[in-house]
Amino acid sequence: MLRLSRQTDYAVRVLLALAKRPLDTLLSTAEVRDEMLIPKAISLRVVAELAKGEFIQTFPGRDGGIKLARPANQINLLQVVERFETNFLISDCIHANGVCPFEQSCPVRLRWIHLQKTITAELENITFEDLRQDALAISNLVD
């Protein structure tokens, strides 16, 4: 089954927590962890990787924290998935040229390729601004 890693899920949560605030809002990593229920040990790695990937900026120190490095509408789910997932494929046969004797004539491979393109396009189309709007809509329903 196709499954994103826990680290990718936590990265999305961190970015969503930041996207729900105005762009230059600085949050402590503890605030983000508490809000998004992320274990401390994993959050440190995720925050470091998000900073390395230029999704967030980090500010060390007592009054430090993290914030989005660019507007939420300029960050999409595909970018995050590609940063955290080493091999995001629904099937190895998509990119395993020469491994399968049926690869040129396999109808299943053609469907896998189509599904991979569809998933990739959807991930690319979903920005953190979209997710922020969704979070607001859900919050309004619950209230």
Position 135 pLDDT exceeds 60:
yes
Position 138, amino acid: I
Write out the H or E segment, with its range, that includes residue 79: helix 77-84
Position with higher pLDDT, 2 vs 90 = 90
Looking at residue 99, its pLDDT comes to 67
Position 12 pLDDT exceeds 60:
yes
Position 71, amino acid: P
Report pTM.
Answer: 0.90
**81 in Cβ contact with 88 (< 8 Å):** yes
**124 in Cβ contact with 78 (< 8 Å):** yes
Please tell me the distance from the alpha carbon of residue 138 to that of residue 32, in angstroms, as a whole number. Answer: 19
Question: Which pLDDT tens digit goes with each residue over 62-116?
Answer: 889 999 999 999 999 999 999 999 888 888 777 766 567 776 778 888 898 899 9
- Per-residue pLDDT band for 39 (boundaries 50, 70, 90) equals very high
Please tell me the distance from the alpha carbon of residue 30 to that of residue 47, in angstroms, as a whole number. Answer: 11
